[in-house]
Structure 1
Amino acid sequence: MDKILYIRMRHRIQARPNQTITIGDVGQLVGDDEVVSQVSGIAIHQVNRSDKSIVVLDIMRVLKELRKADSELDVQTVGPAQTIVEIVYKTKQFRPMFFAAVWLLLFLGAALAIMNFHEDVSMRIVHQKIFKTITGLDDDKPLLLQIPYSIGLGLGMILFFNHVFRKRINEEPSPLEVEMFNYQQDLDMYVIMHENKESSKQTDDH
């Protein structure tokens, strides 16, 4: 009976400095239990300082090591051909002052952006006209409209971003999460194209 192994490369994994990355780390393996246990511990890369923060491991390196271990093994690949290895160094400690400074900067920036937008579209004049249309009275500060509008603006932002602090309102991703996902996909594609040493060949000009 032929020994068949199905392997699907994981899109992204994390590793520690000096860690030995095995086939079981970078791929999902399906096959006979004996075959899977035999090949899952095969090392394909040793993380070192020259790797910096990202390494791209290609399916061809995996196939090469599998052929060394068992030349009669029938390997069937499924899915992506590369795995991005993100090397996680020592996590930085939480800095309250840095967090407060960033929060204050973002808060002031968002507040100024909202105020400048309302000034550009003459929102105060619009509120005055709406208030006069409804009540027939002139009021330079129609608080009966401005206060509910301000509350609604905040609630609208919460609904738009689909988060209350760390709690998600529903399972639907927010537009910001979708944009971050698209950005991450483009970034991963760039890394795969430029960091994968197996996918490019250069000539040495002397």
Structure 2
Amino acid sequence: MADPTHAYVKLKGKIQTHPGETVRIRHVAELVTNSPSETAIQDTVLHTLRPEDGNRYVVDIIQVIEALQQTHPELLVHNIGAEHMIIEVLAPRKKISMLLVLFVWIVLFIGSGLAIMNFHTDVSMPEVHERIYELVTGEKNPHPLIIQIPYSFGVGAGMILFFNHLFRKRFNEEPSPLELEMFLYQQNVDDYVLANEADGAKKK
């Protein structure tokens, strides 16, 4: 009696593709099998993305098993990973409006400037500079520019180092705080989508 043919499937975490793409098993999962038809198995069609699928399509391991067993009924499929994964459908990029970029830049510039000024007012930064100048020189000066000007440059340099970017230049390989926040936000969105999909599947 011939040995049974096994296929071990591990869903990937998340992939990105374009609208209308034909999704195959090799796109969404890592697969190991003792079948001589491994290439054909990996090329098994799972789903063709449609407009009604939206910008996120959730793949369930049951869907993968059904697709494999329909085309290769001799396979014994084993799941060794997560039960769901997400296909993110990339929308066509729109042309960037320079007027909109300029408007956003002005709003952010004014907003960040007001935030810094309000912070300095709350902590009485001008009085602190005056006191530091008096302690160092022994003289009172209502406008200690020798302290205020380097401090202003230091605030800007500190922000650049904190966010680890100067335009498109990165200073080291560590992710910036903004990148970490975006990663956590995206991870929370994916978890929410997977949780809702699982709840919806249970109710059906």
When the two structures are superposed, what TM-score results if normalisation uses the length of structure 1? 0.89
Alignment partner, residue 55 of structure 2: 53
Alignment partner, residue 12 of structure 1: 14
Amino acid paired to 2:155 = L
Count the aligned residue pairs. 202
CA offset digits 1:120-164 (Å, max 9, x no partner): 111000000011000111111111111111111111111111112
Alignment partner, residue 142 of structure 1: 144
Amino acid paired to 1:172 = E
- For residues 20-99 of structure 1, the aligned pairs below 5 Å read 20-32=22-34, 34-99=36-101
CA offset digits 1:152-191 (Å, max 9, x no partner): 1111111111112122211122222222211111110001
How many Å separate the matches in 2 of 1:195 and 1:8?
19
Alignment partner, residue 167 of structure 1: 169
CA offset digits 1:75-126 (Å, max 9, x no partner): 3323322221111222101211111111111111111111111111110000
Query: Are the counterparts in 2 of residues 39 and 66 from structure 1 also a CA contact under 8 Å?
Result: yes
Amino acid paired to 2:173 = E
Query: Between the two proteins, what is the percent identity of the paired residues?
Result: 42
Deviation, 1:18, is 2.1
Deviation, 1:197, is 7.3
How many Å separate the matches in 2 of 1:105 and 1:116?
16
Alignment partner, residue 178 of structure 1: 180
1:118 corresponds, among 80, 102, 120, to: 120
CA offset digits 1:26-67 (Å, max 9, x no partner): 112233584331112211212112112111111110011111
What secondary structure is seen at the aligned counterpart in 2 of 1:200?
A: helix
Q: Any stretches of 5+ residues in structure 1 without a counterpart?
A: none
How many Å separate the matches in 1 of 2:115 and 2:99?
24
- For residues 104-115 of structure 1, the aligned pairs below 5 Å read 104-115=106-117
**CA 1:65/1:190 → structure 2, altered by over 3 Å: closer, same or farther?**
same
1:156 corresponds, among 149, 155, 158, to: 158
How many Å separate the matches in 2 of 1:2 and 1:132?
87
Query: Are the counterparts in 2 of residues 57 and 196 from structure 1 also a CA contact under 8 Å?
Result: no
What root-mean-square deviation, in Å, do the aligned CA atoms of Structure 1 and Structure 2 show? 1.9
When the two structures are superposed, what TM-score results if normalisation uses the length of structure 2? 0.90
Q: Any stretches of 5+ residues in structure 2 without a counterpart?
A: none
